[in-house]
Amino acid sequence: MTENNYIAINTLQHYIFCPHQWGLMEIEQQWCENIFVVLGNLVHEKVDKPFLTENRNGLHISRSLPVYSHKYKIQGVCDVVEFIKNKKGAYIKQLEDNYIIKVVEYKRGKPKEFNQVNYADSIQLTAQMLCINEMFNINCEGFVYYASIGRRCKLNNFNELTNVVFNIVEEMTKFLQNNTVPPITNTSRCNGCSFKEICIPNAKTKLPFNSLIKHSWEEQFEKTT
């Protein structure tokens, strides 16, 4: 596997929402947008300015920073990465000083509960943090900024979620290597799905989802929350 076919971090959320939806996009190259997707894109427009950086009083902010992890075979773009000068932080060669690092992902929605980062958001943020830790040899902190409440929520269960990310990426890689779209799930999520019109979940036979694959990461995630 080369860097060119590492799993894209922004596709993890599609797989978590519905593996079949992810397969339609990534394997069959189909794409549908609904109002929820459009609103999400608008939030990201504010931060998607590649390589834009700011410096003020020991705070260095990188926006749309490309990241990767060779260990986890993932790659993506972090909305915002803050480097804060701090003697207790790690030495960052590119900035020639010691810094702590905060990764911030922007989302249009609101947290599931006060101060608790949502399921798919947690996984996406964990994947980004794994990349930053590997790239800068550091233990970073991670936050999700929820536009609807106008504040950040901190991710508190990073260590536990690393295994969840590993298992999800492993599953996605197997589907990609086999060129196989995961089966239809036909759950309540279908009502808000942008692929409902082309997937037509009720008109097709619901295939038994491979229980080993399904539960390997879902049960693990439940234990960490």
Residues in contact with ligand SF4 by CB under 6 A are 18, 20-21, 184-186, 189-190, 193, 195-196, 199, 201
User: Which of residues 30 and 139 has its CB atom nearest to ligand SF4 in the complex?
Assistant: 30
Q: Rounded to the nearest whole angstrom, what is the least distance from the CB of residue 195 to ligand SF4 in the complex?
A: 4
User: Which of residues 14 and 60 has its CB atom nearest to ligand SF4 in the complex?
Assistant: 14
User: Which of residues 32 and 176 has its CB atom nearest to ligand SF4 in the complex?
Assistant: 32
Q: Rounded to the nearest whole angstrom, what is the least distance from the CB of residue 94 to ligand SF4 in the complex?
A: 41
Give the three-state DSSP class for 61. strand
User: Which of residues 74 and 193 has its CB atom nearest to ligand SF4 in the complex?
Assistant: 193
CA gap 165, 155 in Å, rounded: 14
Q: CA angle, 109 as apex, 28 and 8 as ends, to 5°?
A: 35
- List 7's β-bridge partners, or say none: 74
CA gap 60, 42 in Å, rounded: 24
User: Which of residues 172 and 184 has its CB atom nearest to ligand SF4 in the complex?
Assistant: 184
One-letter amino acid of 211: S
Q: Rounded to the nearest whole angstrom, what is the least distance from the CB of residue 113 to ligand SF4 in the complex?
A: 24
Q: Rounded to the nearest whole angstrom, what is the least distance from the CB of residue 186 to ligand SF4 in the complex?
A: 5
Contact assessment for residue 79 and residue 106, using Cβ atoms and an 8 Å cutoff: yes
Please tell me what DSSP assigns to residue 51: T
- List 68's β-bridge partners, or say none: 75
Contact assessment for residue 50 and residue 73, using Cβ atoms and an 8 Å cutoff: no
Q: Rounded to the nearest whole angstrom, what is the least distance from the CB of residue 203 to ligand SF4 in the complex?
A: 11
